[in-house]
Amino acid sequence: MTTPLQVTTARLRDPVTERDHVRGPVDAPVTIVEYADFQCRFCGAAYPNLAEVLRQRTDVVRLAYRYFPIVNVHPYAENAAETAEAAAARGRFWEMHDWLYQHQDQLDPVHLSLGVEQVGLPPEEIDAEVARHAHADRVREDFVGGIRSGVGATPTLFVNDIRHDGGYDLAELLAVVDAAANA
């Protein structure tokens, strides 16, 4: 006897809270949660498209960014995530986030320290925090939450708590956001 194929939809296990790094209105009808790795070239390709979705759907969508550094492939990803979290502790997460994606080929320690300075943060302080892994627990919490939600690669997007298994080009993301807003 043959059984029909069951299709399951992966769901976000950890809801967005005040501890998340969020762009967009709190009451937006659509929330995208992105699990990403600053050194991942696919995340780098998704970055401008997600920024454009936020720009084109200003009142409709918000984006929550979560860390998912894949360190066995991307040796600088964890330090980049910890640097972003050190910036977040100073109220500058999104500035550092943007710098990291705009300079993906410069995530080694020397360039990362220069980037911290370009963002207007104290490089010596942040370098020291990263060196002692002061923000590693926060990065790890996001990573574990991603595993619980079925994340296995980056970028992984959840739209209103349901994993988006499609692509991340602009047209597709806009269509997905519009469909979720009208659901």
Tens-place pLDDT, residues 148-172: 999 999 999 999 999 999 999 999 9
Q: pLDDT tens across 38-52, in order?
A: 999 999 999 999 999
Return the domain boundaries, the chain.
Answer: 29-181
What's the mean pLDDT in 48-72? 98
CB contact at 8 A, 181 and 42: no
**What percentage of the chain reaches a pLDDT higher than 70?**
96
Residues 92-101: pLDDT tens digits? 999 999 999 9
pLDDT, tens only, 75-123: 999 999 999 999 999 999 999 999 999 999 999 999 999 999 999 999 9
Between 51 and 3, the higher pLDDT residue:
51
What are the start-end ranges of the E strands in 17-101?
A: 21-23, 30-36, 61-67
Check whether domain 29-181 has CATH 3.40.50.10860, yes or no: no
Res 8: pLDDT = 54
> In the β-sheet with 156-159, what is the strand arrangement from edge to edge?
21-23, 61-67, 30-36, 156-159, 162-164
Instruction: Tell me the whole-structure pTM to 2 decimals.
Output: 0.94
The phi and psi torsions of 92 (rounded to 5 degrees) equal -130, 30
Structure tokens at 121: 């943060």
Query: Nearest to residue 38, comparing CAs of 84, 72, 88?
Result: 84
Look at residue 6 in the predicted model and tell me its pLDDT.
Answer: 47
Q: 43-55 burial, b if ≥16 CB within 10 A, otherwise e?
A: bbebbebbeebbe
Q: Which three-class secondary structure state does DSSP give residue 21?
A: strand
75 within 8 A of 108, measured Cβ to Cβ: no
Confidence of residue 9 (pLDDT cuts 50, 70, 90): confident
In the predicted structure, residue 3 carries a pLDDT above the cut 60: no
